[in-house]
Amino acid sequence: MPQVPTVTGMVEAEELGTTLIHEHLRNADEAVRNQWPHVGAVKEDQPHEVAPDQVYEIAVREAQAAVDLGVKTIGEPTAMFLGRDVEFMRRVSVETGLQVVPCTGIYTYDHLPQFLMNRDPDQIAELFVHDIEDGIQGTEIMAAFIKCAADEPGVNENIEKVHRAAARASVRTGAPIMAHSRPASNTGPRQVEIFLEEGVEPSKIQIAHTGDTDDLDYIEGLLETGVWIGLDRYGLDIFLPYDRRQATAKALLERGYADRIFLSADSVATTDWFPVNVSDGLIAAGAAHDWTIRIVHERVLPELREWGLTEEQEQTMMVENPVRWLTG
């Protein structure tokens, strides 16, 4: 029976249960957090900056809300540069019972620090393999998957290097890959191409944020390669409004793709990316609405059920796909 690493140890794959594949318990600039630990974060329902010690409380609150809605597990794709802290994840998991599946990897759209500039893909892959086989940040918590990203700058030299490193670590360990993508910049096809060139099985590749477009030709082009796609930013209206995300999900379900789709929100319990005034401005401008770990179970699934989503399709997307992607 295959097992999957979580922040509280290995679990039987069949114990993952209902899983949101892409939710963040915290999003922070790790360099700023290290240099200026007094700086807090924002949460859209808080009128002021959240103090550092409240960041944990809010993560627990959000994780508990997910558990109360029947979520048993989350994929936690917080990698390098997003403030990965597996001890923080472990505390939240222990306090709430939410199973948290952690990752290794590097989240950048372009910039790499000198340490990574001066290393080749194999040397970077070594870092990922370490997290998968030996444990993360000095703990015995193993990484379950590998994260990388391509965004508006496209798949440039630095991004290609990180993708090749992710691919090589995947081939060596069998760990699957989650690749942040930007459909508006057409990154998905090139990301898949690199992984396949490196010998990664399509069944181990998840192209996250594919649901930021409703261009079905683009989406089916990716699906034809055999990869998974994330319809994983419900509530982030700035990239695609909610109704168009739902219309896309329905169209893909009608075409029989339930066994290739993940539904999630890419929510962050808190983030320090924006000061309060900027965050308030974004919310006021409609950039995000109901963008929480709760939205899939409170809104997306009930609406889809009303529309005709079958129990079998729901079970496939929310329970079986995570197991199949994580265990290959």
Tell me how far, at minimum, the Cβ of 8 lies from Zn ion, in Å. Answer: 21
Q: Are 203 and 169 a contacting pair, CB within 8 Å?
A: no
Pair of tokens at residue 136? 């993360």
Q: Which residues bind Zn ion (CB under 5 A)?
A: 77, 266
Give 170 or 181: the residue with its C-beta nearer to Zn ion. Answer: 181
Q: In the bound complex, which residue of the shown chain has the CB atom lying closest to Zn ion?
A: 266
In angstroms, the CA 128 to CA 134 distance is 10
Give 44 or 313: the residue with its C-beta nearer to Zn ion. Answer: 44
Tell me how far, at minimum, the Cβ of 28 lies from Zn ion, in Å. Answer: 13
DSSP designation for 204: G
Give 18 or 78: the residue with its C-beta nearer to Zn ion. Answer: 78
Tell me how far, at minimum, the Cβ of 25 lies from Zn ion, in Å. Answer: 11
DSSP designation for 98: -
Tell me how far, at minimum, the Cβ of 110 lies from Zn ion, in Å. Answer: 17
Q: Which stretch of DSSP H or E encloses residue 76?
A: strand 73-76
Query: Most distant CA pair in the chain: distance in Å?
Result: 54
Give 187 or 313: the residue with its C-beta nearer to Zn ion. Answer: 187
- Going 318 to 320 to 321 to 326, the CA torsion angle's sign is positive
Tell me how far, at minimum, the Cβ of 166 lies from Zn ion, in Å. Answer: 15
Q: Are 229 and 285 a contacting pair, CB within 8 Å?
A: no
In angstroms, the CA 242 to CA 169 distance is 35
Tell me how far, at minimum, the Cβ of 72 lies from Zn ion, in Å. Answer: 20
How many residues can be counted in the chain? 328
Give 86 or 309: the residue with its C-beta nearer to Zn ion. Answer: 86
Give 110 or 220: the residue with its C-beta nearer to Zn ion. Answer: 110
Tell me how far, at minimum, the Cβ of 266 lies from Zn ion, in Å. Answer: 4
- Phi-psi category of residue 215: left, alpha or beta, with phi > 0 → left and psi -120 to 50 → alpha: beta
Coil, strand or helix: which one is 218? Answer: helix
Coil, strand or helix: which one is 185? Answer: helix
Give 27 or 316: the residue with its C-beta nearer to Zn ion. Answer: 27
